[in-house]
Every structure is written in C-alpha cells, then in structure tokens.
Amino acid sequence: MRRHAIKLPILTIANGQNASNAISLAAGVNSKVALGTLVDLIVYAPTTLPETVECQASWIESPTASDWRTLSIAGTDVTAPADRAAVVPAAAMKAFRLRATTPVGADRVFPLIGQVDI
C-alpha cells in the first residue's frame, strides 16, 4: 500500500450563503476513493476569510440540511482558518462540506487534497 495525494472537487461557499457544495460518496470517483480510503483531508482556505468556517460531515451520501454535523476533536470544532491549510483527520463520513457561521460577503473558494492509502 502506498500513500497518494488525490485532488478533490473545490468547495465554494457562494456570496450571501453559509454552506458550501459537498463532496460525497455519491459525487464521483475521486470523492468515492478519498472518502472511502481517507487518511487525511487538507482544506486550503482563502487568504482573506473574515468568517469562521467549520468542517462538517454526514453519515448519509446525499444529506439534507439536518443531516450535517460539525466535526469536533476533543470538544474543539474543526475549522478552516484564513490563509491556512487545515488538516481534517480521517473520519468515517459519507459526505463533507464547509459551513460559515454567518453568510459570506463574497464567494469563498476552498481547494481540497485528500491523502489516501491505495
């Protein structure tokens, strides 16, 4: 088994919204490989990001609004701070998205890279 970096779809929180699009087991081959064999997920946050952005996961492949939960490690929410590459530890999930605590003032774009063992 070898560790590989796999490029995932870019997550975007659109202007005036607070939730991004999602990657899920239902969203294509790269998403299936990454979420199925994920070691780490790296979220690259924009340089300017005045909002607090939380990482959210779901146990359902095609979640509705009430199916999302904020990821937490030892009681601390996992966030994507401005101008950082945030590591999301391996977690059992079928879908992943980002959620700003307030509606964003412009589109916020977050490239993702997954580390997988295949």
Q: What is the CATH number of the domain that holds 24?
A: 2.60.120
What is the model's pTM? 0.86
Beta strands in 45-94 (DSSP E): 53-58, 69-70, 72-73, 76-77, 85-89
Q: What pLDDT shows up at residue 39? A: 76
Each residue of 17-40: pLDDT tens digit?
999 999 887 665 455 555 556 778
**The domain containing residue 64 runs over which residues?**
3-117
What's the number of domains the chain is made of? 1
